[in-house]
Structure 1
Amino acid sequence: MSPPDAAPLKNIAIVGAGGRIGGFIANALIEQGQHHVTAITRPDSTAELPDSLHDVKKADYASHSSLVEALKGQDFLVISMNVMAPKDSQTRLIDAAVEAGVRWIMPNEYGGSWSSSEQMGKDDLLGPGILAIRKYIEEKGVNWVSCVCGFWYEFSLSGAEIRYGFDFKKRSLTIFDDGKVKHTVSTWPQVGRAVAKFLALPVSGSSPCLEDWKNKQLCISSFTLSQRDMFDSVLRVTKTQESDWTITHEDTQKRLKRGQEMMKQGNFAGFGIALYVSVFFPDGRGDNTALNQNDKLGLPKEDLDEATRVAVEYVESGKSKAWSM
């Protein structure tokens, strides 16, 4: 039975709890200690799930009845999936969640604010699909709440040149335009904390509450920074000087077109190039500062250099290689 509206939702299901962001969300919820957290996973999955999960339910994602059975009794479904997952994966989960009686869904977004910049969504190809999923959920008569967090900072900075332009092995950096346009980013722990604190709110009856975000975006962040800001932090963390790095420049529009052309040729690296450069356009479309809701959730301020150090350690340990686009 669902809790009264004046109380937080109790039963939280997570698809992708063995993944990166799903794992941080699951761990934050478990640590918070107010919920019963269930991982929904495939029978043949070898993903390492977080410790202390309250339940693990195996479900055949190709079987509607199997998914429905796994989702019965859940109050809120968090979907966290790889960008390469089959296109109908989310709609299958949504259909099953609706039949199982789940009333709230966090779709697989975790990025920019597409409703505030539809052009950015068209440029990176993600926007239309994201808006379609939101509409699909509403048409099913249930509620969605998307987590707008910008790019994941540690993941993005530790990646190849196709993301933020950094190549740590070569000590090279491609600066987009003048490198001074700021955009919003979040660390993985901050996203986990944000979702956990959000789900600790009552459904209704006082504000803030879940109903405040019914069919809306939950906008949070860790930092608002430019490539130059990131580079300054990298220099401090690595104890290097700018003269130790090879610096080149690329026009944002030209980089976007180059990425799009690569995609047309079947080169998936072009997707990363187009996706990341889109937040650095001079119109400031990647800056979600005006939408920030950190204070409503009581989220902490973070140390930029500490987050940069995590990214550098990912590169040095070789972990980032498994995350390459």
Structure 2
Amino acid sequence: MSNFIKQVALVGGGGNAGSHIARALLQTGKHSVTAISRSSSSSSSSTIPPGIPTVRVNYGDPESLVSALRGYDALVITLGVMAPPGTQESLIRAAVQAGVPWILPNEWAADTYDAGLQRDVVPYKQKAEFRKFIEDLPGGGAVSYVAVHTGFWYEFSLPIPDAFGFDLTTRTATLFDDGTAKISTSTLPQVGRAVAALLSLPVTHPDPAVATLDRFRNKPVYVSSFTVSQSDMLDSLCRVTGTLKADWTVRHESSANRYSAGVEAIQRGDWSGMVKMMYARNFFRDGAGDYERTRGTANGVLGLESEDLDEATTMAVERGKY
């Protein structure tokens, strides 16, 4: 096997993160990317970035998956919240059987290694379980994972009122507690660049000073565009929209109460509470959302620069118009 990742299979290549990952991988000129899609998917192949072939598979047919994944150096999984139950398990099993040596599982979130977040946010606990699932599968010792943590996607999240607490239409800001708790977050283009840089590293190198993919074997990788508070976001929104804070209705809400309200909504069958619950939990005073401080990032190793907050806010405002 080559000491570099060349052939990459990508699940979710037409999605929010997947499309940016696909483009960034192609732009390196070092990778051949193939999109893996369900044969029953109603999504159009036109959502896949140009230059990426699509292989359609039957997720209910294990051999179909195994056959589709043979010969790849890495499998990158990006799945939406509406993906059928068992999808990631099927993909991981097939990757192990097909001999894919590297898997980037469906992480793309805040710090899913944090004990408090695992306890309080069920999807984060499930991500930890998927990592153990890879380690414990028969034959899984030949397959390694890298868990890429990006935080919430900034320009995707900012226009969603239940997420960061901003309603751009009514110019209402709901600040959790005093609005100064910081979280690490990434733009979607930064997510793409991070994966492309990671998979462009040599797998191994005799010089320990050289960054390698092996350094991150079965470990987390933390990346970000910046680490900001809601107050920082509001200041940026004012600059970008040419408004004053006096033009905004600013409210305050306990992050703990907001989290509990989200949990209660889920218990009533209202799954919109999931967004409120997940985001509010990352703003708790324990600092779990600020992994730049608690864990450090791999931005330097991967050559990722911090992004301009106002430029990202501009993207969010434009996104919020649609």
Asked if the contact 2:112/2:118 (under 8 Å) is kept, the reply is yes
Deviations 1:221-253 (A, max 9, x none): 001000000000000001111111111111111
The answer (yes or no) to whether the contact 1:153–1:186 under 8 Å persists in 2 is yes
Equivalenced residues, count: 310
Counterpart residue identity of residue 20, structure 1:
N
> 2:162 is paired with a residue of what secondary structure?
coil
State the TM-score, normalizing by the size of structure 2. 0.94
| Counterparts of 1:87 and 1:136, CA distance in 2 | 15
* Corresponding residue SS for 1:162: helix
* SS in structure 2 at match of 1:249: strand
Q: Deviations over 1:59-115 (max 9, x none)?
A: 111111111111111110000000221231111001111111101100001011222
TM-score computed with the length of structure 1 as normaliser: 0.93
Cα distance between partner residues in 1 of 2:270 and 2:185: 26
Give 1:252's aligned amino acid: S
Q: Is the 2:224–2:306 contact (alpha carbons within 8 Å) kept by the matching residues of 1?
A: no
For residues 260-284 of structure 1, the C-alpha deviation after alignment (integer angstroms, 9 at most, x for no partner) is: 0000001111110110011111111
Report the residue type matching 1:297 in the other structure: L
The residue identity in structure 2 corresponding to 1:278 is R
Q: For residues 111 and 81 of structure 2, what CA distance do their matches in structure 1 show?
A: 17
Counterpart-to-counterpart distance in 2, 1:300 and 1:78: 23
Is 1:271 the equivalent of 2:274? yes
Which of 251, 261, 264 is the matching residue for 1:248? 251
Structure 2: which 5+ runs fail to align?
none
Give me the whole-angstrom Cα distance separating, in 1, the residues matched to 2:170 and 2:190: 30
1:120 positional shift: 1.3
User: Percent of pairs identical after alignment?
Assistant: 44
How far apart in 2 are the matches of 1:224 and 1:75?
33
* Residue identity in the other structure for 1:51: P
What is the alpha-carbon distance in structure 2 between the residues aligned to residue 32 and residue 246 of structure 1?
A: 45
List alignment gaps of at least 5 residues for structure 1: 319-325
Retained in 2: the 8 A contact 1:237–1:305? yes
Aligned partner of 1:107 in structure 2 is: 105
Residue 38 of structure 2 corresponds to residue 33 of structure 1: no
Pick one of 42, 58, 61 that aligns with 2:59. Answer: 61
* Secondary structure in structure 1 of the residue aligned to 2:163: coil
Which residue identity lines up with residue 19 of structure 2 in the other structure?
A: G
Q: Of 209, 233, 249, which aligns to 2:236? A: 233
Aligned to 1:295: 300
- Shift of residue 122, structure 1, vs aligned partner: 2.2
Local SS of the residue matching 1:163: helix
Match of 1:136 in 2: 133
Matched residue, 2:123: 126
- Give the ranges of 4+ consecutive aligned residues of structure 1 lying more than 4 Å apart after TM superposition: none
Letter paired with 2:318: E
How many angstroms apart in 2 are the aligned matches of 1:261 and 1:41?
Answer: 35
Q: Could you tell me how far apart the structure 1 residues matched to 2:318 and 2:132 are?
A: 40
Q: Does the 8 Å contact 1:118/1:127 carry over to 2?
A: no
In the alignment, residue 249 of structure 2 is paired with which amino acid?
T
- Once residues 268 and 33 of structure 1 are traced to their aligned partners in structure 2, the CA distance between those partners, rounded to angstroms, is 41
Which amino acid is 1:298 matched to? G
- The residue aligned with 1:190 is 190
- Give the letter for the 2:162 counterpart: I
One-letter code of the match for 2:49?
P
Report the CA distance between 1:43 and its aligned residue: 2.3
Counterpart in 2 of 1:312? 317
Question: How many Å separate the matches in 1 of 2:31 and 2:196?
Answer: 9
**Corresponding residue number in structure 1 for 2:199:** 199
Q: Which amino acid counterpart does residue 253 of structure 1 have in structure 2?
A: A
Q: Is 1:221 matched up with 2:227?
A: no
For 1:301 and 1:94, the matched residues in 2 are separated by 33
8 Å CA contact 2:111, 2:117 repeated in 1: no
Partner of 1:218, secondary structure, is: strand
Give the whole-Å Cα distance in 1 for the aligned partners of 2:311 and 2:50: 25
Question: What residue is the counterpart of 1:321 in the other structure?
Answer: none
> What's the secondary structure of 2:36's corresponding residue?
strand
Report the residue type matching 1:24 in the other structure.
H
Q: Within 2, Cα distance between the matches of 1:87 and 1:112?
A: 22
Amino acid at match of 1:13: A
Q: Is the 8 A contact 2:73 2:100 kept in 1?
A: yes
The separation in 2 between residues aligned to 1:123 and 1:166, in whole angstroms, is: 23
